[in-house]
Amino acid sequence: MKGLIPYSIQVNGRLMDLSVPRVMGILNVTPDSFYAGSRKQTEWDIAERVEQLMEEGADIIDIGAYSSRPNAKDVAAEEEMERLEKGLRIIRQLAPDAVVSVDTFRASVAQRCVGEYGVAMINDISAGELDSCMFETVARLGVPYIMMHMQGTPQNMQVAPHYDNLIQDIMTYFARKIQALRELGQKDIIVDPGFGFGKTLEHNYELMNCLERLKILELPVLVGVSRKSMVYKFLDITPDESLNGTSVLHTIALLKGASILRVHDVRACREVVRIVEKMLG
């Protein structure tokens, strides 16, 4: 698609072309994610969600077992891994060829998920800030690494977030992280500017307005805005009512160069991608 950086990442021994926008479907095996419709804990619910994601055309399944919503409770590594194991076993049974990403900031969890379940990608909300071993671990594992910008932690990130220059601060943050990863030999890096993570409503819209500036990093950009507060708080609705606003933001993100959209509603997002591709040729 015009405007996207020609970039491929290595997943499960094959190349995934990111010059075509990709849809990452969310599988939350948590009891407390912000959007109640995404919470899947029983084996039946997880299996149903996996089948839905695949039927609707998800390019990647992103499984997470640690809620990163504001003020979320901390979860021990052992419990996080137990939840993930349940989900990963079901994915491997129902969709053995699926490209799976694990949403974790813990190097030990990343190590086990890749080593024991063949996970293809690691998605880290903290970009190594919450576990100093993460960069070294993903570089050794040789899997694509999604690193997100977050100011603070999930427990305190929305306590008066402040930036001297939002876009410049995020760019500087990523430049430093990219250099550290490259020095360790990490090949495939994807950046996520972190909508809703240590950012006010105004920060989120400023970030979306300037999203194309991330192209200077010459890396694929992942955007995660699905049913988030920048939609439902701005429109004074609920997460359940936020699909329409989410689709608008997905359209804008694609026009500004996003390579991957992380979403709850795969079918709706695929429709957005098809229409934008048709328009841009």
Phi, psi of 200 (to 5 degrees): -80, 175
Number of domains comprising the chain = 1
Question: Is residue 130 assigned to a domain?
Answer: yes
Is 40 an active-site residue? no
The answer to whether residue 68 is domain-embedded is: yes
Q: Is residue 3 part of a domain?
A: no
Range of the domain at 271: 8-280
Please list the pLDDT of the chain residue by residue as tens digits (281 residues): 766 667 999 999 999 999 999 999 999 998 755 445 545 568 899 999 999 999 999 999 999 998 776 666 778 999 999 999 999 999 999 999 999 999 999 999 999 999 999 999 999 999 999 999 999 999 999 999 999 999 866 656 566 678 999 999 999 999 999 999 999 999 999 999 999 999 999 999 999 999 999 999 999 999 999 999 999 999 999 999 999 999 999 999 999 999 999 999 999 999 999 999 999 97
Pairwise CA distance, residues 168 & 176, whole Å: 12
Domain annotation covers residue 2:
no
Beta-strand ranges (E) seen in 86-144 are: 100-103, 121-124
| CATH, residue 230 | 3.20.20.20
14 a catalytic residue = no
243/249 Cα distance (integer angstroms): 10
Residues 80, 109 contacting (CB under 8 angstroms)? yes
Residue 1: inside a domain, yes or no? no
The one catalytic residue in 22, 106, 256, 262 is 262
The residues that bridge with 24 in the sheet, in sequence order, are 60, 262
Question: Where does residue 61 rank: exposed (0-12), middle (13-18), buried (19+ CB within 10 A)?
Answer: buried
User: Which residue in the list 106, 227, 228, 270 is annotated as catalytic?
Assistant: 228
Assigned domain for 239 exists: yes
**Could you report the per-residue pLDDT of 104-160, keeping only the tens digit for each?**
999 999 999 999 999 999 999 999 999 999 999 999 999 999 999 998 666 565 666
Note whether residue 107 is domain-resident.
Answer: yes
